[in-house]
Amino acid sequence: MELLRLKHALFGLPPRPRRVRARRHRAAAALGGIAMSALLALLLAGTTMAVEPSASAGEPSPSAAEPSPSAGEQSASPSTRGSPASSPVTSPSVSPDESGDLPGQVLSPGEAAPPGFFPPAPVTEQGRDINNLYSIVFWIAAAIFIFVEALILWAVLRYRRLDDTLPAQTHGNRIAEFIWTLIPAVIVVFLFVASTTVIYRVEAKSENPDLTVDVYGFQWQWSFGYDCPQEFGSAGGFTRVEDCGLSFTGQGAQGPEMVLPVGQLVQIRLHGSDVNHAFYVPQFLYKKDVIPGQVNRFEVRVEQPGTYTGQCAEFCGLAHASMNFTVRAVPPSEYDAWKTQAEQEAEERENATPPPSPSGDGGDGETGATVEIAAENASAFTADQAEAPADQPFSIAFDNRDPSAPHNVSIRGATPEGDFVPPIADPGQQASYEVPPLAAGEYEFYCVVHPNMQGTLTVR
């Protein structure tokens, strides 16, 4: 009985009335049909359009098979993830515009293709896992989408009202309903299993990563630290990235650059102290939140050398949109060279400029005039107007009362080379900056870490 009704409900077609009366209904049906087909066409066109660029971007370039000569060298330390040498590492000599099909825009190998139906080509081992999972979900969803939209379209076109007879009053069918409960349930369980395997692979943490980089996110800038103290691994242990062997604090909307060795397992630890942020590199297909009071960590093994843009993904206030950074992945030998050089430069800088004097009560008045400027948060200086005497050196007593962000006071166009950019004062620190003589006029002063912090310095 049920089966008969199922057949009746699903396959039996109502007899077609010969005379068509409801012209307006047809027009409406046609309208609905057109709208729906437009939607289908839009999506299908999008799919084909999108599949092509991302397919070509995903294909390894001719030289991809040949592993970078030095890729395996640095991986002496035990790793849970197999030897990096076996991972496909593209040599950096891939021609930059290979995957670029946007006129006038040069794309480096891993750089973002134009928006399509698939994520950007992944450049990390973990990203590949995520990308594969995405593809599985995408094709299943696409199949369901086309199937269901086709059913709707069919119903709209086939069963539009042609006469006023009452159709059979079918109240339901247990078998049919059971089937369309069961099939989604099976699909869903399959997807769950697939996702869980990927969760465990992507979220795995090794005891001994090849490299650990600490990230400090604050309103609205990033600092990256290499060779950081061991205690940074625990929630209360983090102090400041300046305590690390090597550290970089971003400047301006461009933010800092993180250099990573290709093929090595890198653990990234995320620290915050003001509000939530998120460390997001689209080409890693991965983001993780930066949350005050806890250390979040994740691991990546970058497989493709290149420069990848990253951005804060968790809304964090005024200048959230300009909280950028870049990740540059280079072969390990290049990484070592970079690091030695960066350490040298840091040392030179340390010797060249005395660290901002933590002078207790801001400025001794020896050089003449003192301008007092303070910051309490990263939105603005406490005052956006300041005055200084013309044509004589003066000092700025800067009081950084902000508990979480470093700041400084830079002056645009104050030196022949460009801006006057003194060292950055850590959270809670005071600094005294000696400014060379300035001609009378109005100057813009700003924080080099936070371009949104601005003021006017009137020199007369």
Partner 1 sequence: MATTALTPRAIPYPRSRVYEWLTTTDHKKIGVLYITSSFIFFLLAGILALFIRSELALPGSQIFDPTSGLYNQVFTMHGTTMIFLFVMPMLTGFGNYIVPLQIGAADMAFPRINALSFWMIPLSGILLFSGFFLGGAAAAGWTSYAPLSAREVGPGQDLWIVGLILNGTSSILGGINFIATIFKLRAPGMTLMRMPLFVWNVLVTSLLLLFAVPVLTSALIMLFIDRNYGGGFFNPAAGGNAILWQHVFWFFGHPEVYIMILPAFGIISEVLPVFSRKPLFGYRAFVMATVAIGALGFGVWAHHMFTTGSVYLPFFAFTTFLISVPTGVKMFNWIATMWRGRLQFTTAMLFAVGFLATFLIGGLDGAFAAAAPVDFHLQDTYWVVSHLHYVLFGGSAFGVFAATYYWFPKIFGVRLDEGFGKIHFTLHFLGTQLAFFPMHLLGLDGMPRRIQDYSPAAGWQDMNVLSTIGAFMIAISILPFLWNVFISLRKPRDAGDDPWDAFTLEWATTSPPPPHNFDALPPIRSERPLFDLKYGELMGGHAGQHATPAEAAGYPTEADREAQSDPQGRADLPTNPTVADVEAGTTARSEAGGSGVIVVRPADSEAPGQPAAPATEAAPETPAAPETPATPETGEPKLVPPVTHAPGEGEVTSAADASRPSAEVTERVRRQARQKGTPPSDARPEEPR
Task: Give residues 158-177 in contact with partner 1 (rule: CB under 8 A).
Answer: 159-173, 176-177
- Nearest distance from C-beta of residue 278 to Cu ion, angstroms: 7
In whole angstroms, give the CA distance from residue 431 to residue 424. 9
Within residues 215-244, the interface with Cu ion by CB under 5 A covers none
Q: In angstroms, how far is CA 33 from the centroid of its own chain?
A: 40
Does 138 engage in binding with partner 1 (CB under 8 A)? yes
**Angle at alpha carbon of residue 116, lines to 110 and 117, rounded to 5°:** 115
435 binds, among partner 1, Cu ion, none (CB under 5 to 8 A by kind): none
Does 6 engage in binding with partner 1 (CB under 8 A)? no
Contact 287, 234 (CB under 8 A): no
Stretch that binds partner 1, among 132-140, 352-360, 363-371, 391-399 (CB under 8 A): 132-140
Does 26 engage in binding with Cu ion (CB under 5 A)? no
- Nearest distance from C-beta of residue 264 to partner 1, angstroms: 21
DSSP letters, 274-324, are SS-EEEEEGGGTEEEEE-TTS-EEEEEEB-S-EEEEEEE-S--STTGGG-E
In the set 240, 269, 288, 407, which binds Cu ion (CB under 5 A)?
A: 407
In the set 61, 63, 73, 134, which binds partner 1 (CB under 8 A)?
A: 134
- Nearest distance from C-beta of residue 344 to Cu ion, angstroms: 27
- Residue type at 445 in one-letter notation: F
In the set 202, 215, 270, 447, which binds Cu ion (CB under 5 A)?
A: 447
Stretch that binds partner 1, among 74-82, 196-204, 206-214, 390-398 (CB under 8 A): 196-204
Does 252 engage in binding with partner 1 (CB under 8 A)? no
Q: Report phi then psi at 140, rounded to 5.
A: -65, -45
Stretch that binds Cu ion, among 119-127, 203-211, 242-250, 274-282 (CB under 5 A): 274-282
In whole angstroms, give the CA distance from residue 345 to residue 351. 10
Does 315 engage in binding with partner 1 (CB under 8 A)? yes
Q: In angstroms, how far is CA 133 from the centroid of its own chain?
A: 19
**Tokens 């593209």, located at residue:** 90
Kindly determine how many residues on this chain lie close enough to bind partner 1 according to the rule CB under 8 A: 127
Beta partners for residue 313, in sequence order:
none
- Nearest distance from C-beta of residue 194 to partner 1, angstroms: 7
CB neighbour list of residue 139: distance below 8 Å, 6 or more residues apart: none
